[in-house]
């Protein structure tokens, strides 16, 4: 399988490089190919002739997107359209990484792939609009929505909690936002399986189970055997520039349709806490 990966240096991208190292992989960071540069994107895809294009590159700073709407849409919407246009010209399949933030969080049962998009942040809006446009450009696109990513090689919630807990006797975490923490290594494995299954349409891909951020923080501290106390707080007590969905659990029905099962988030967290970043393999660029 020939694969061209955009976002190879990101949190998920690094694990995708590991997962796809046995394939004919062209792995590109934002320095290699800026999504906003249409001609460069066309050149890369024309030269690499991929069976699949994996688009995990994005502007993912949720609060940063709120302050930089134009940049968010330039990367997350227009950049995605550039890749989709080039994929159509080359006859390549496209997998687009999307997010639980396309929903407003008003449900209290897992979101299905058919539920309407109602983003409440600029980041979520940029991704929702990209989903809609990509489905128009490439009817057989695979949109893989995921949530609450954590992994090695970049910023993530568990790393932040560990850093805070190592220096403070007490930390706080929001207890009224519920979602599914997802380990990038498990996600990378599932995405590769979806490619090999010729997946199309929207698929929800997260670790199994769900929790609040407070419950996640408490589990991080417990598994790490730290003495730090974890205090639950409300979103109102911990204001951020961008609104987050209060409930963004994604139904796994669409993933199970491809006979793919994801481990429980607690198991994924234990493996994350007990592992170290892998050495990146040599990659053809």
Residue 203 domain flag: yes
Q: Which residues contact 39 (CB under 8 A, 6 or more apart)?
A: none
Residue 1 is predicted with a pLDDT of 95
Taking a C-beta distance cutoff of 8 angstroms, is the pair 83, 35 a contact?
yes
Contacts with 227 (C-beta within 8 Å, 6 or more apart), sequence order: 169
DSSP strand pairing (52-55 vs 93-99) = parallel
Residue 284 clears pLDDT 50, i.e. is over it: no
The CA distances from residue 220 to 161, 194, 238, 275, in Å, are 7, 30, 20, 14
Does residue 160 form part of some domain?
yes
Query: Based on the structure, what is the number of domains in the chain?
Result: 1
Identify whether 284 is part of a domain: no
Residue of 151, 146, 127 whose CA lies nearest to 14: 151
Average pLDDT of the segment spanning 190-195:
98
- Angle CA(69)–CA(72)–CA(73) in degrees, nearest 5? 90
pTM (two decimals): 0.95
Hey, which residues are catalytic here? Answer: 123
101 in a domain, yes or no? yes
Asked whether residue 73 is assigned to any structural domain, the reply reads yes
Please list, in sequence order, all residues whose beta carbon lies within 8 angstroms of the beta carbon of residue 233, skipping any fewer than 6 positions away: 172, 173, 174, 175, 214
- pLDDT bin (cut points 50, 70, 90) of residue 283 is very low
CB–CB of 145/98 below 8 Å? yes
pLDDT tens readout for residues 77-87: 999 999 999 99
Each residue's pLDDT tens digit, 166-177 = 999 999 999 999
Quick check: is 260 in a domain?
yes
For residue 89, how far is the Cα from the chain centroid? 26
> What's the CATH number where 104 sits?
3.40.50.720
3-state secondary structure of 170: strand
Q: Does the residue 279 lie in any domain? A: no
Domain residues for the domain of 253 are: 2-273
**Distance (Å, whole) CA 159 – CA 191:** 24
Please, what is the end-to-end C-alpha distance for the chain in angstroms?
16
280 assigned to some structural domain: no
Mean pLDDT of the chain: 95
């Amino acid at each position: 399988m020939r694969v061209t990966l955009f976002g190879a240096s990101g949190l998920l991208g690094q694990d995708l490089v590991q997962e796809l190292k046995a394939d004919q992989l062209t792995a590109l960071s934002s320095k290699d190919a800026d999504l906003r540069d249409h001609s460069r994107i066309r050149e890369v895809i024309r030269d690499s002739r991929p069976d699949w294009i994996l688009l995990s590159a994005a502007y993912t700073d949720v609060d940063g997107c709120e302050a930089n709407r134009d940049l968010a849409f330039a990367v997350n919407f227009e950049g995605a359209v550039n890749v989709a246009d080039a994929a159509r010209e080359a006859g390549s399949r496209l997998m687009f990484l999307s997010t639980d933030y396309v929903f407003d969080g008003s449900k209290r049962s897992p979101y299905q792939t058919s539920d309407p998009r109602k983003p409440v942040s600029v980041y979520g809006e940029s991704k929702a609009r990209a989903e809609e446009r990509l489905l128009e450009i490439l009817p057989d696109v695979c949109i893989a929505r995921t949530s609450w990513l954590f992994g090695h090689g970049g910023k993530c919630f568990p790393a932040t909690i560990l850093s805070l807990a190592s220096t403070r006797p007490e930390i706080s975490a929001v207890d009224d936002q519920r979602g599914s923490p997802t380990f990038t290594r498990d996600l990378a494995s599932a995405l590769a399986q979806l490619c090999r299954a010729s997946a199309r349409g929207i698929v929800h891909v997260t670790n199994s189970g769900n929790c609040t951020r407070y419950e996640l923080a408490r589990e991080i501290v417990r598994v790490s055997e730290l003495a730090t106390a974890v205090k639950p707080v409300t979103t109102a007590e911990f204001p951020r520039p961008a609104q987050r969905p209060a409930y963004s659990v994604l139904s796994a029905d669409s993933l199970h349709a491809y006979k793919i099962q994801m481990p429980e988030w607690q198991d994924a967290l234990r493996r994350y806490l007990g592992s170290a970043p892998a050495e990146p393999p040599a990659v053809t660029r």
